[in-house]
Structure 1
Amino acid sequence: MLQAVPENYNQPLTRWGHSWRTFLCLVISGVAWASVVARQWEDFQAWFWLDLGVGLASFVLVSFRRRWPVPVAAILSLTGLVSMTAAGPATLAVVSLATRRKLPSIILVSLLSIVCGQAYTHYQPAYSSEDPAWLSFAFLLLMTIAVAVFGMYIGSRRELVWTLRERAHQAESEQELRVSQARSGERERIAREMHDVLAHRISLVTMHAGALAYRTDLPPEQIRETAKLIQEKAHEALTDLRQVLGVLRDDGIGDRPQPTLCDLPALIEEAAGSGMRIDFASEIEDGTPPSDQIGRTIYRIVQEALTNARKHAVGSHVTVRIVGDEESGVTVTIRNGIRVGSLGMPTTPGAGLGLVGVRERAALAGGTLEVSRTADTFTLRCWLPWT
């Protein structure tokens, strides 16, 4: 956010702004000069032309008040020694200086104005007044203070308006940033869901279809069973995809229940039924189970690990072990062998997004994920808090 300095909250003047300020200066100068102009013209014409010339020069000089506020205000205050027609520009310069609300310079220029104005009443031959000197001085003092206070009020108001406008712009920018971040987060969440769910289903379809292409000696009955299984998995993948697209369209389709830790045995059984060799062990402490979010994260991590094993290590042995309690959290360890050479069956290409997704899931749940690899083993280990 920009700093509230006079250069920021004193906005450039429009043509109308220049016009009404010039007119007001003319009015002030006319009222001030009216008290001496007749006598100057009749008895002291040299003072008349000096007063008028200095006044015209003051109208030119006052246009530079924002560029050099203190020098211009000081010079125009000094013109009060010889010119009443400079009263308007001098008043405008003091007001402009006061909008900056810098007390030392305001006090200095105000004192200079009072001294010059008081001096003018003493040595100006065309000036005459029946009022006592103290009354003239009091009037000049009050007018100077009023002009300075008015200028400071204008400066405060400009700063307040500018600050509110800047805060509104900043709030709008922050709101746009939050919306953008929310959209990005939602896209990432949907991408993770699509990858975790569809990759699992499609990998099963690919594995069974590859088996059909590889095993040409299967009896017709087994071919029909495998084809039926492929059809079921493809239908499940289509259902999951329709669910995700329904969320994107927000067309009122109800969300299916999200998987939790209780659904993990069914996932293991499904993977084992597709031909994978899996050893599963769960040593979760009895009592209060982990939260649904942690359970869902565990499910998705195991699902992705099984999908990767099915895609990149066909026929390998997979061990899944889950250990945890309320004090130490939950540790998920998944280990599978690394395939050496080719079995003649096609493999499913991967984009490397699976591990990225599970790392993000673990981080969002407040956990950590480590991946290690040896010559013959791939291990994924994840720690998650209990709640």
Structure 2
Amino acid sequence: MSSREPRERSAFAKDPRSRPRPGNAKLLDLFYAALSALAALAWGVAASESGQITGDALFWLMLLGVVGSALLWWRRRHPVRVALVLACCFAVTDFALVAALFAVAGVATYRPRRVAFAVTALFAVMRVPFALWGPGDGTSPLVAIAVDVAVLALTTWYGRVMGSRLDLVIALREQARAAEAAALERTELLRAKERERIAREMHDVLAHQISLVSLQAGALKIRKDLPPEEVARAAETIYHSSHQAMEGLREILGVLRMGTVGNSLQPQPTLADLCSLFEECRAAGMSIEVANRLPDLSTASPVGRTAYRVVQEGLTNARKHAPGTTVHVLLERSGDGPSATSGNELVERPGDGLPERSGDELHILVRNPLVLGRDGPLVPGSQFGMIGLAERLEVAGGRLEHGVRRDAAGQLAFHLEAWIPWPK
């Protein structure tokens, strides 16, 4: 960027109409200067033929008119300065009349109203001595002054009209720029939200499948004495989990490549898919105890999808950080907020006579004992899953709590608890 560009921008910030001229404006200013110079020369020839002005005076006055006309090239950048110089020329000769009118119009167009009126008044006052004592054509001085004032007033009015139109054009351009910037900002915000949604879905899907692969691969590495049947089952789980992870990744990458937004991913899971999730985890070797106190798992899609992701994240964390332990899952409807459910309640299985609870919220609790000093490979955690869950629940109007607590038996366990408003 050149050193001149910041100065031009600062000038445009103070007065948008003083910005650099476009090509057509330069041609127009050149035309005005040439027209004014030709008028000065024509006026001089007419004065010479009529005998009003002759000799050196004619030469110098014609030169003054031509030089004054050349100043019109700067009438947009420095309208007041050009007008002040031409006012002096206008006070001593008629040859600068056309240039003076262009200068007055330029001030009225590019400067505030009070400045335009002051310059017009200056031209009228400085013209009075020439009308009274200058060479004339027999016209009364009062009539000449009145005509000059009328012409100057009309020129100022025309310049103000053109300035108002220019102000309107500039305001419309600024509004268009602001609207375009706002549209770009909204577009970027929508893209950021879409990327965030895709990233959350990627984490939810891939983290679950990759943790299954890691669990089975770790078991094969540690248990080298497994019978062939167990090895084959672990390999089958690794194959299916890897295949599902690849399918999910291919789908998400396809969405990113196509640049589409909206519900372009596969149908999202709901509460009804929790049974398949539990069976998939048990097939991978996890021990899960479920207390299902919900009368019906076919609830509304947004609530069911959020609840599924909460349970999935809880199982994924337990599989990564506490392998070999029993994970307890509680599903119930409750309107009492955070509950003090004990660990003994969680080991109950659906159909064991637990009373069904009704309330305004879906309460989910996933609990697994802490494992201290464990052997075997560690699966790294990024905390992005908890962040994504908190965002999901915030959008759904729910809340999330997680951390290490001591259960009824005095054992330290990690609790992941969520409350989601039940649809009415």
1:318 and 2:330 are equivalent in the alignment: no
Q: Secondary structure at the match of 2:15?
A: helix
Q: Which runs of 5+ in 1 are unaligned?
A: none
Change (3 A) 1:103 1:285: farther
1:8 and 2:39 are equivalent in the alignment: no
Q: How do 1:173-184 residues align onto structure 2 when only pairs under 5 Å count?
A: 173-184=181-192
Q: Secondary structure at the match of 2:33?
A: helix
Change (3 A) 1:102 1:232: closer
Alignment length (residue pairs)? 380
Question: Which residue of structure 1 lines up, in the alignment, with residue 314 of structure 2?
Answer: 305
Q: Which runs of 5+ in 2 are unaligned?
A: 1-8, 336-357, 407-411
Q: 346, 349, 373: which is aligned to 2:377?
A: 346
Question: Which residue of structure 2 lines up, in the alignment, with residue 294 of structure 1?
Answer: 303
Change (3 A) 1:384 1:120: farther
Partner amino acid, structure 2, of 1:371? H
Distance 2:217 2:13 in 1: 72
TM-score (normalised: structure 2): 0.75
Question: Which residue of structure 1 lines up, in the alignment, with residue 403 of structure 2?
Answer: 372
Deviations 1:307-330 (A, max 9, x none): 011011112333333444698544
Between 1:279-288 and 1:302-311, the stretch displaced more is 279-288
1:359 and 2:390 are equivalent in the alignment: yes
Deviations 1:126-183 (A, max 9, x none): 21234x5565444323311221122223323333333333444444444444443333
Distance 1:137 1:8 in 2: 36
Question: Which residue of structure 2 lines up, in the alignment, with residue 259 of structure 1?
Answer: 269
Q: How do 1:175-324 residues align onto structure 2 when only pairs under 5 Å count?
A: 175-250=183-258, 256-282=266-292, 289=299, 291-322=300-331, 323-324=333-334
Q: Secondary structure at the match of 2:172?
A: helix
Q: How do 1:18-33 residues align onto structure 2 when only pairs under 5 Å count?
A: 18-30=29-41
Change (3 A) 1:82 1:240: closer
Q: Secondary structure at the match of 1:354?
A: helix
Q: How do 1:58-137 residues align onto structure 2 when only pairs under 5 Å count?
A: 58-59=68-69, 65-66=75-76, 68-124=78-134, 126-130=135-139, 135-137=143-145
Q: Secondary structure at the match of 2:285?
A: coil
Q: Give the percent of matched residue pairs that are identical in Structure 1 and Structure 2.
A: 35
Change (3 A) 1:287 1:246: closer
Distance 2:402 2:11 in 1: 49
Q: 357, 365, 388: which is aligned to 1:333?
A: 365
Distance 2:199 2:238 in 1: 24
Distance 1:138 1:332 in 2: 92
TM-score (normalised: structure 1): 0.81
CA contact (8 A) 2:11 2:18 kept: no
